[in-house]
Structure 1
């Protein structure tokens, strides 16, 4: 009987896909998740000013000394139900090892959103299959060292009136889900505001009014899942990654003493540069210094990275280091990436398995005093 019902369901879905694919795709194009620069600028400015002027209303503001109070930033886990569509499943071991390390080192943990995949799953099932990860996050909440932000795939945390009660059960204390956060780093020569948010700001589908947010959470996302139609998600669309990086950077470069840190695209960005752009800069530097060995290694690496993402910004040689992206915790190879602010440095880190054991690797780093000088150059 169950097989008959499943077969009927698949036939019904195939029929609905045939009739609805074109109108759904047309509607997605009309209300595209690729925002306009003016909308991004407005949304980011409003959120930043709200947090700076009224901390706690839309997000917290923390002043800290980065040589004394370390911070780890992760984004885009997309925790699922351990089925074939659960992108986080293969990354869970690295994530748990990373949180155990950072909690032992007394890091502050900021999660940029899309922690739970609620477009494809119902929340009770996600909770049931992710008890270990919630327990690991709870260790930070117990120390009052955990901030949870809202993404477009877990808008529930910011929309549903029952969300605060659910969060309180998960973390054994009141735990608000915020739209953003400002980490105000105290440096010898001044301050840097690290403005952290998910990165879907200005998105007409999921950063609009209350109705549009509700519609995406409870109608639009589930409908796309049922129809197996992925419309314009930046995390799986190179054109949208390019647009996202461009829009976020163009807003951040106009700010003073500010660094924007987002997620959303699943693509790490450091000093406003993607990995591919950094490789080209490193190649030029190696050639200038006559380092043929390093140049050859980079030349071998570039084609592999171009298969992942083949876009170079026209001004990548002279970009202001004002935009960073934490990447994600759902890479298909099981690796996860994040942003550390610790020991006076900001670092792009990767957690990967070596001989079956999760290991921390530093991919890029820059001292905050040097970063501050470049921001004000």
Structure 2
């Protein structure tokens, strides 16, 4: 049986490679867990925040990369239910797709996207009620286990993956966990009972997963690695000589979403949330959880 280190190495070696430079702009989100709009749908409370952020990044020419668990396909049996609850979100993602600025990574909750046939079935088209016919959505969309960004000038690499490779039951045993979540924990979640299969809700497991990923980074020349999975944001600073382990957090925090931006050769951890003006008007705003740091200050591979 492959170890977590082997699984991460395989994801890195088989990753899709994308060139970038200091003019490139990326936004990384993960763990959206887009659901069906029911009481068990954690994403529903943050949908407006997330969609506002998507519009902002598209209008400002960012490339969107989703680091897994975008769709909640453990709790929900049918993608069409998720699509109908989040149609405007998928049509916003379609704009990135149509301009070649969309890349998707699968996680444990959308592991079925390893199968191109499932991706094609879900994303090739949708039925438009106004038009009365099917319209193209993202017909050639691909999902990857890993992506490596390669700097064309410095040859610096950034490894992107979900991170569930370091979590045995959520990688090798994901179908078992999916069964328990779908049958048992989704109904109980409505009553506030936490899902023990999720490292985001199990601190002991969370620490173990992070430790395994950090071990892999240490054994691979301190390669800059950005993951999700645990929902816990993490942002090392080069001046503190930490391992280059980044986590973009999730889009299902209470009343906020977190992500990682790359722009002008800088990397930053950001948060979008609802705030009020002095006049009491609600607005969606962005703030830095960790201020921009030069990518060039991190170890090169």
Same fold (TM over 0.5): yes
Q: Following the alignment from structure 2 to structure 1, what is the Cα–Cα distance between the partners of residues 229 and 216?
A: 16
Q: For residues 148 and 171 of structure 2, what CA distance do their matches in structure 1 show?
A: 19
| Cross-structure match for 1:154 | 110
Shift of residue 81 of structure 1?
Answer: 1.8
Q: What's the counterpart of residue 142 of structure 1?
A: 98
Checking the alignment, whether the CA contact within 8 Å between 2:248 and 2:259 is kept in structure 1 is yes
Moved more, 354-363 or 106-115: 354-363
In the aligned structure 1, how far is the partner of 2:268 from the partner of 2:186?
39
Picking from 368, 371, 374, the partner of 2:295 is: 368
Alpha-carbon distance in 2 for matches of 1:214, 1:74: 24
Residues 69 and 89 of structure 1: CA distance in aligned 2, closer, same or farther (over 3 Å):
same
Q: 2:147 aligns with which of 181, 193, 215?
A: 181
The residue number in structure 2 matching 1:359 is: 285
CA distance in 2, matches of 1:95, 1:240: 27
SS at match of 1:83: coil
Q: Which residue of 2 aligns with 1:199?
A: 163
Post-superposition, which runs of at least 4 consecutive aligned residues in structure 1 deviate over 6 A? none
Q: 1:222-264 CA deviation, whole Å, 9 max, x = no partner?
A: 2343674723311111112211221111111222362111000
Question: Deviation of residue 160 (structure 1)?
Answer: 7.1
The answer for unaligned runs of 5 or more in structure 2 is: 127-136, 189-193, 277-281
For the Cα contact (< 8 Å) 2:163–2:228, is it kept in 1? Answer: yes
Structure 1 residue 254 and structure 2 residue 238: aligned? no
CA shift for structure 1 position 204:
2.8
TM-score (norm 1): 0.69
Question: CA shift at 1:161, angstroms?
Answer: 3.1
Return the offset for 1:128. 0.9
**Matched residue SS, 2:160:** strand
Q: Are the structure 2 counterparts of residues 110 and 243 from structure 1 closer, same or farther at C-alpha, using a change threshold of 3 Å?
A: same
Change (3 A) 1:204 1:369: closer
Q: For 2:47 and 2:72, how far apart are their aligned partners in 1?
A: 14
- Please give the secondary structure, in 2, of the residue aligned with 1:161: helix
Cα distance in 2, alignment partners of residues 162 and 253 from structure 1: 35
Measure, in 1, the Cα distance between the counterparts of 2:209 and 2:53: 27
Q: Which has the higher helix share?
A: 1
Q: Counterpart in 2 of 1:319?
A: 242
Alignment of 1:1-377 (within 5 A): 39-51=3-15, 60-65=16-21, 67-122=22-77, 123-159=79-115, 161-169=117-125, 171-187=137-153, 190-208=154-172, 212=173, 214=175, 216-217=177-178, 219-225=179-185, 228=188, 230-256=195-221, 258-271=223-236, 318-320=241-243, 322-332=244-254, 334-355=255-276, 356-364=282-290, 365-372=292-299
Give SS of 2:152's match.
Answer: strand
Number of equivalent positions: 279
User: Greater Rg, structure 1 or structure 2?
Assistant: 1
Query: Over aligned residue pairs, what C-alpha RMSD do you find?
Result: 2.4
State the TM-score, normalizing by the size of structure 2. 0.85
2:181 touches 2:195 (CA, 8 Å); kept in 1? Answer: no
**2: CA distance, partners of 1:226 / 1:107:** 35
Q: Is the 8 A contact 1:75 1:114 kept in 2?
A: yes
Contact 1:42–1:202 (CA under 8 A) maintained in structure 2: no
Q: Offset at 1:39?
A: 1.7
Cα distance in 1, alignment partners of residues 4 and 91 from structure 2? 35
Taking the aligned partners of 1:349 and 1:343, their CA distance within structure 2 comes to: 15
